[in-house]
Amino acid sequence: MKKSSLGKPAKNVKPARVLPVKKGTEAPVAGTEGEAPEIKGARRGAKTPATLRGMKDILPKEEVYWTLMRRTAENLARAYGYNYIETPIVEEAGLFLRTLGKGTDVVDKEMYIFEGDEGAKICLRPEPTASIARAFIIHGMHSWPQPVKVWTMGPMFRHDRPQAGRYRQFHQFGCEVLGERDPSIDAELIVMAYNYLRDLHIPVQVAMNSIGNLEDRERYIVELVGYLRGKRSYLSEESKKRLHRNPLRVLDSKEEQDRVVVEEAPQIIDWLSDASRQYFMKVLEYLDELEVPYVLQPTLVRGLDYYSDTVFELLADVPAEDPHAGLALGGGGRYDGLVEQLGGRPTPGAGFGIGLERTMLFLKRQAEQDPARFHDSVSPLFFAQLGEQARRRALYLIEQLRRVGIVVYHNVAKSSLKAQLELAHKYGVSHALILGQKEVQDGTIIIRDMDSGIQEIIDEKKVEVEVRKLLAKDRG
Ligand code: AMP
């Protein structure tokens, strides 16, 4: 049997440092030092495999949020004429190492890299854009109607330090437009990202900047490095390192001591060529036209090498005292050199990615304030039965209802009516259908209002009609 190519991490890849997570902030994780965390469902003293640090199970109680996030993405993508694309989670490591750039956190310390067949380095994708650019080339999408507009959704992997809102496996919804360069495309993508979060009732602010073309950036970096060298002693240790490896990243630093230095730094916007400046002005004009509020953020550079011209982020617009104030929910930009860099024909591109775990933080908050909006019952009905004959008939009726699209909760393995009605209460259904020996013989069925306890006997043949009436009433 062939050995799994995902089995062995490449020798020359240094695993990222694993930092302890504050106790009580996460579900039990594997490899936690010290006392083994208590696992709710484990037998006393038994060893239970836990989730890895920075990885999370998506649980049934979260289904309502994931369904909403996916449906909202689907509707939005359809409304703007984007088609779905899904690239593999495992790719050649070179795809990202070549394009994202040395000196970026993702490449330097966050990639999950393994040894594949014949020693080739393969990885878990840290982001979707490079994969989509690869797909564009290998599927000859340049000959499709241009521009090619695609959307995607799925897990990404970064071996980063786990903390609130930062996981090692996380999910993104993303849109990409390849094959055309026009400020209206950038504006459309920004509107889409903004509308996505607005449709989910999450207030965001769009932060905008332009990092110009490669030459603009090279000239600017010379200027920036000159300035930062003069202030070196005021910079944090991390920024001192970044100053050599990737000076633009110093602008991104969250450290207060760096912020002070960065505030006075030369701004990239002043180093743009006329063409890039005009392009950026047009993007902003279109945003004004489309009534998308934005702020200019001269320090926004997005860090990855493949970006050019427009860059943007979507930041949570909540009061400053809120722990999530300013949290980046998503970001994106233009990447006109990416396809060519990967060996394709020169093809402009632009896109965005929105983090779904962070989006969900806000949805969960909304659910606390307005639980009705997130009522996640599959059905407002429960089917209870009593006695062997009734159980058989119940199975038949449940199947008939399912075939006409009516779903009911049930547990036909239970024989006690009391236990079944308790279950119905737990599901929070408004009505229960009850079938006993007598009802089977009479060809009837009981409908019980779970709140009032009032029961009504109906003809079994009318069950679908009656249930539809209840469903219509429940929907208001
Ligand atoms: P980026 O392209 O790195 O700016 O990522 C886009 C969005 O994905 C961010 O704004 C976050 O919402 C989300 N994101 C990025 N990294 C992580 C992570 N490690 N854990 C959770 N969400 C993330």
Residue 374 has a pLDDT of 83
**For ligand 1, atom 14: residue with the closest CA:** 355
Give the model's confidence band at 474: pLDDT under 50 very low, under 70 low, under 90 confident, else very high: confident
Q: In the predicted model, what is the mean pLDDT of residues 385-389? A: 96
**245 falls in which pLDDT band (50, 70, 90)?**
confident
Q: Ligand 1 centre and the CA of 330: distance in Å?
A: 7
Tell which one of 26, 170, 314 to mutate to probe ligand 1, the residue whose CB is within 8 A of the most ligand atoms. 170
Q: Which has more pLDDT, 104 or 99?
A: 99
pLDDT digits (tens, 9 = 90+) for 408-464: 999 999 999 999 999 999 998 999 999 999 999 999 999 999 999 999 999 999 999
Residue 264: band (very low, low, confident or very high) from pLDDT cuts 50, 70, 90: very high
Atom number of ligand 1 nearest to Cα 168? 19
Ligand 1 centroid–CA 56 distance in Å is: 15
Distance from Cα 472 to the centre of ligand 1, integer Å: 41
Q: CA 207 to CA 201: how far, in whole Å?
A: 18
Of 131, 358, 363, the one to substitute when testing ligand 1's pocket (max ligand atoms within 8 A of C-beta) is: 358
Residues 271-304: tens digit of each pLDDT: 999 999 999 999 999 999 999 999 999 999 987 8
pLDDT for residue 64 is more than 90: yes
pLDDT of residue 37: 58
Nearest to 275 by CA among 308, 307, 248, 298: 308
Interatomic CA distance for residues 380 and 418, integer angstroms: 19
pLDDT at position 432 is 97
pLDDT of res. 372: 81
Q: Percent of the chain beyond pLDDT 70?
A: 91
- The residue whose C-alpha atom lies closest to atom 18 belonging to ligand 1 is 166
